[in-house]
Amino acid sequence: MVTHDEWGPEKIIQVYDAKTGMKGIVVVDNTTLGPGKGGIRMLPEVSVDEVAALARAMTWKNALADLPFGGAKSGIVADSKTLTQEKKDEIVGAFAKAIRNVCPTMYIAGPDMYMAEHEMEVFVKANGSIKSATGKPKDLCEGYSCGIPHELGSTGFGVYHATLVSLKHFGIPVKGAKIAIEGFGNVGTFAADFLSKDGAKIIATSDSKGAVYNENGLDVRELLRIKSRGGSVTESNEKKIPAESIFELDVDVLIPAARAYVINEKNAHNVRAKIIIEGANIPMTIEIEKKLHQKGVLIIPDFIANAGGVISSYVEHIGGKTEEVFPMIERKIVPNTIAVLERSKQKGMMPRDAGMEIAKERLLNAKRFSV
C-alpha cells in the first residue's frame, strides 16, 4: 500500500480505456525540481505499489543528478509478449491520450521494460506533445527538438565513469583492474567497451543464455560483434561458467547490469569484489547492501551509477544534440560520485545514505527558494 510522506507522492492516476482494454498507472511523486520524469513499463503484473516505489527512486535519482526534473513513473498493465505490434500501439496510444492533462507539465515519459523508441513515437503522437516523452527515434523532430534513443549507450557511459571514480577512490589503477559484468545488454556492453579501452580486464560477463570467463580478460570486441548480430556471449570461444558464479569471482569491480535482486541471501556471503557498481536498478536489497558495506565492500548505488539514461533524457528534453549527451553525463556523474564518496568517508556512512542525504538537501533547498 502506498504511503504518503513529506516528499510525496503528489498524484496517483489510474486510467482505463474500454475500447482497447488499456489499464494504466501514473505516479507523480515529487515536482519540486521540475516535472516528474520516469519511464513507462509494460508488464501484466505491474501495480500501483511498484510504480510508486519506482517514482520515488526517480525523485532521488533526478535530484542527485542535479537535473530540473522531479520523480515519476508509469505502468501499463499488459503482456507485451502476447500482443501484436498493432495491438500494442493501440494500447500505448490510448494510455497517452488518457494522461494528456499531466503531460508534459507534471509528467514526462520515457522507455522502460518492453517500451522502446518506437513506443515513444506512438506515445508522443497520440499525446499531442513532442515534449511528453524522451527516448524517441532520432529522426522524430519538431522545431528544435529531436529524439535521442536510449540505445546510444548513455547509462553504460555513466556506469563507466562511476567505476573510474570508484577505482581511483579505492586506489586501484584502471589498467589491469579485474571487472565482472552481469548482463551484456544495453548497459553492460557499453560499460565493458569503455572500460576495456582504458585497459581494464573484463574477465567475466553474462546474458540470458549463460556466462563466460577468461582470467586474462575477455575479447570484448568479439563479444560485441556476436551481440550485434543477435547472438549470445556463450557463442564465443571463451570458457563457459555457471551464470550465478559471476557474483562470486575474485574481482576488483562487480557490475550487476541486468536484473533486480541478483545479489541476495544465497550468494552475498560469497561476494569477493572490492567494489560494486549498481548498473541495474535494485540489484540487491538495502539489507544486503548494508551487510556488504560492513564487510568493506564499496557500493555505488543504482540512483547514482545508472543516472546516465535520465541525463540523456534531459538533453533531449531541452532540445540538445546527440553529441552533447556524453559530455553532460561525465560532468554530472563524476562530481556527484565524488561528492557521495567524500561524504560517505567523512561521516562513516554507506554511499547510499550519503547520496540520499545530498538528494534531500537539494530538494529542501529548492523548496526554500520556491517559497
Residues tagged active-site: 73
Do the Cβ atoms of 24 and 56 come closer than 8 Å? no
Alpha-carbon 202 to chain mean position: 21
Q: In the Cβ-directed half-sphere of 23, how many Cα atoms lie within 13 Å?
A: 9
Q: What is the 3-state secondary structure (H, E, C) of 50-71?
A: HHHHHHHHHHHHHHHCCCCCEE
Do the Cβ atoms of 306 and 279 come closer than 8 Å? yes
Residue 17 burial (CB < 10 Å; 0-12/13-18/19+)? Answer: middle
Go through the chain and tell me how many residues it has.
371
* Closest C-alpha to 189, from 144, 220, 215: 220
Please calculate the CA angle 170-327-308 and round it to the nearest 5 degrees.
65
Q: Rounded distance, CA 305 to CA 23, Å?
A: 32
Maximum CA pair distance of the chain?
A: 62
| Residue 236: partners with Cβ closer than 8 Å, 6 or more residues away | 212, 218, 219, 222, 223, 226
Q: Rounded distance, CA 315 to CA 319, Å?
A: 6
Distances (CA, A) of 315 to 3, 32, 55, 146, 213: 32, 20, 20, 10, 37
Do the Cβ atoms of 216 and 184 come closer than 8 Å? no
Please calculate the CA angle 64-66-71 and round it to the nearest 5 degrees.
65
Neighbours of 254 (CB within 10 A): 29
Q: Rounded distance, CA 142 to CA 129, Å?
A: 10
